[in-house]
């Protein structure tokens, strides 16, 4: 009985990509539970948010998987967006943002698993009071929309936003962010037009 309990903590279930495949199958397998380095948190994952990018990673079609310029190569655990609870804090004292038992969400490769390790410098945040882990996990994948609108394009109030050739969740979130950044009067006058397109 004691041995089975120890093995349960040493191992976890995860979606592991052993090799790229055109039609990948996402089947949980047993893998070792990650051991955090001195500057990492150990997080128990309670929620994950599958995105189209996960399929591209499993197929080897994402730019991160480029043979020479990429950094994501098999074998690896799939998944980016997750939510969960901090189990261990960094032993070296570098963990300033979070404490044990904090509810968190974020973006770290390897989140289609029961546990993941992350640093303070990674994209992890405490779940705000009044929100659920589930809600924050679902929205964490849309941070690219905010970055594209605010940080990259630096859209101004008097500019018009046209979104083309991206997924519905990302494009919808970009439009929502743009409207919310405008004054209430401007937002009330806005109409959102969906323009159909076809890959040639």
Work out whether strand 40-49 and strand 16-17 pair parallel, antiparallel, or are unpaired.
unpaired
Instruction: Supply the pLDDT for residue 200.
Output: 40
Instruction: Supply the pLDDT for residue 98.
Output: 93
What is the pTM for the complete model shown? 0.76
DSSP letters, 120-138, are: TTSEEEEPPTT--HHHHHH
Cβ neighbour number for residue 19 with a 10 Å cutoff: 10
Q: What is the pLDDT of residues 77-98, one digit of tens each?
A: 999 899 999 999 999 988 788 9
Instruction: Supply the pLDDT for residue 153.
Output: 79
Instruction: Supply the pLDDT for residue 120.
Output: 86
Low-confidence ranges of the chain (pLDDT < 70): 1-8, 165-171, 179-200
Pick the CATH number of 2-140 from 3.30.2010.10, 3.40.50.10310, 3.90.180.10, 3.40.50.300: 3.90.180.10
- The residue extents of the domains of the chain are 2-140, 144-188
């Amino acid at each position: 009985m004691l041995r089975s309990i120890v093995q349960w903590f040493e191992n976890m279930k995860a979606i592991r990509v052993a090799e790229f495949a055109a039609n990948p199958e996402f089947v949980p397998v047993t893998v070792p539970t990650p051991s955090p380095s001195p500057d990492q948190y150990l997080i128990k994952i309670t929620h994950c948010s599958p995105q189209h990018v996960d399929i591209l990673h499993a197929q080897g079609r994402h730019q991160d998987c480029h043979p020479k310029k990429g950094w994501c190569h098999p074998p690896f655990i799939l998944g980016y967006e997750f939510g969960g609870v901090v189990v261990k804090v960094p032993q070296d004292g570098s963990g300033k943002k979070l404490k044990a038992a904090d509810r968190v969400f974020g973006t770290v490769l390897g989140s289609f698993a029961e546990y993941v390790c992350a640093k303070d410098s990674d994209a992890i945040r405490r779940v705000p009071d009044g929100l659920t882990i589930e809600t924050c996990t679902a929205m964490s994948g849309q941070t690219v929309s905010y970055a594209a609108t605010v940080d990259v394009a630096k859209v101004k109030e008097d500019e018009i936003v046209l979104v083309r050739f991206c997924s519905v969740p990302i494009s919808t979130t970009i439009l929502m962010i743009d409207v919310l950044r405008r004054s209430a009067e401007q937002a009330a006058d806005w109409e959102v037009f969906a323009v159909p397109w076809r890959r040639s």
